[in-house]
């Protein structure tokens, strides 16, 4: 399944609906191929564990050594203990600032008030290099990207035309539209959002947003962005000075997964 042929209504859903919607998207196919960049824990918040249990195979990529070892112990997918970045960074090492599921190359992290618990240097590869090494099929079915602010760099090392994923889930706090513009420039269109994950499918996929879905997209990516950026700035001020600033209320209609959610 590549998406409904008729116009869809609601396009934004809570996190709790995500796995059900993914399985429905793929018509609960017993086989398929996934790639998860930034896998973190083998099961908790995993984008692919439920697919693996259905019989899918694939790749999970996680640079933190202890998490990569847990993935090897608990998952059947092939594990790469590296971080993904742009081609010019391939073969190098970068400092990863550790904060559990919020670990990032940016020492400020993505969530105001969360401090790094340490750091380590991790090796870098491109997604393309990993897929070639793993002898991945083309096209692949599902690609998930959760790399805490390094999404564009990671996707810069991915050949969209060669691998042509049927579905891409991209973590995006939507403080700007850079990630959305990047995806559109590479032939993918936005069709849905589950919590902080934006869904993209090839632009020629017969999936149309209805009036409600178009309004939700406009509200999320245009109307809500200035308020979301203001809220994030206020959060960082509060974290820096210990003061309780007033936050603008979030727009209605979206769930929250936890600290990593900067949605409005």
3-state secondary structure the chain: CCCCCCEECCCEECHHHHHHHHHHHCCCCCCCEEEEECCCCCCCCCCCHHHHHHCCEEEEECCCHHHHHHHHHHCCCEEECCEECCHHHCCCEEEEEEECECCECCCCCCCCCCCCCEEEEEEEECHHHHHHHCCCCCCCCEEEECCCCCHHHHHHCCCHHHHCCCEEEEECCCCCCHHHHHHHHCCEEEEEEECCEEEEEECCCCCEECHHHHHHHHHHHHHCHHHHHHHHHHHHHHHHHCCCCCCCCCCCCCCCCCCCCCCC
pLDDT band of residue 118 (cuts 50, 70, 90) is: confident
pLDDT band of residue 238 (cuts 50, 70, 90) is: confident
User: Residue 117: is its pLDDT beyond 90?
Assistant: no
pLDDT at 240: 73
Top-ranked range on mean pLDDT: pick from 40-54, 223-237, 241-255: 40-54
Across the range 8-30, mean pLDDT stands at 94
Top-ranked range on mean pLDDT: pick from 33-37, 231-235, 243-247: 33-37
Choose among 133, 198, 183, 174: nearest CA to 262. Answer: 174
Torsion angle, alpha carbons of 213, 216, 221, 227, to 10? 180
Across the range 139-153, mean pLDDT stands at 94
Percent of the chain with pLDDT over 70: 86
Please report, for the chain, the start and end positions of each structural domain, with discontinuous segments joined by +: 7-241
CATH number of 7-241: 3.40.50.150
| Cβ–Cβ under 8 Å, residues 48 and 36 | yes
What global pTM score does this model have? 0.88
Q: What is the pLDDT of residues 40-98, one digit of tens each?
A: 999 998 999 999 999 999 999 999 999 999 999 999 999 999 999 999 999 999 999 88
pLDDT band of residue 6 (cuts 50, 70, 90) is: very low
């Amino acid at each position: 399944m590549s998406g409904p042929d008729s116009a869809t209504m609601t396009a934004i859903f809570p996190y709790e609906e995500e796995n059900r919607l993914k399985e429905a998207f793929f018509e609960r196919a017993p086989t398929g191929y996934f790639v998860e960049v930034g896998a973190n824990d083998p099961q908790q918040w995993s984008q692919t564990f439920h697919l693996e249990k259905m019989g899918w195979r694939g790749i999970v990529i996680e640079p933190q050594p202890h998490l990569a070892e847990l993935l090897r112990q608990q998952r059947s997918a092939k594990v790469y203990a590296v971080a993904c970045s742009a081609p010019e960074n391939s073969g190098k090492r970068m400092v990863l600032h550790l904060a559990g599921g919020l670990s990032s190359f940016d020492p400020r992290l993505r969530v105001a008030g969360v401090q790094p618990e340490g750091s380590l240097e991790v090796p870098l590869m491109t997604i393309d290099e990993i897929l070639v090494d793993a002898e991945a099929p083309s096209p692949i079915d599902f690609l998930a990207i959760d790399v805490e602010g390094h999404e564009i760099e990671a996707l810069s090392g991915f050949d969209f035309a060669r691998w042509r994923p049927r579905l891409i889930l991209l973590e995006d706090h939507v403080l700007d539209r850079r990630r959305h513009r990047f995806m559109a420039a590479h032939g993918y269109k936005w069709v849905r959002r589950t919590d902080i994950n934006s869904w993209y499918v090839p632009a020629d996929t017969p999936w149309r947003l209805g009036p409600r879905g178009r309004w939700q997209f406009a509200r999320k990516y245009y109307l809500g962005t200035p308020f979301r950026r203001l809220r994030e700035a206020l959060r960082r001020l509060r974290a820096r000075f210990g003061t309780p600033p007033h936050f603008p209320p979030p727009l209605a209609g979206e769930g929250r997964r936890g600290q990593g959610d900067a949605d409005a």
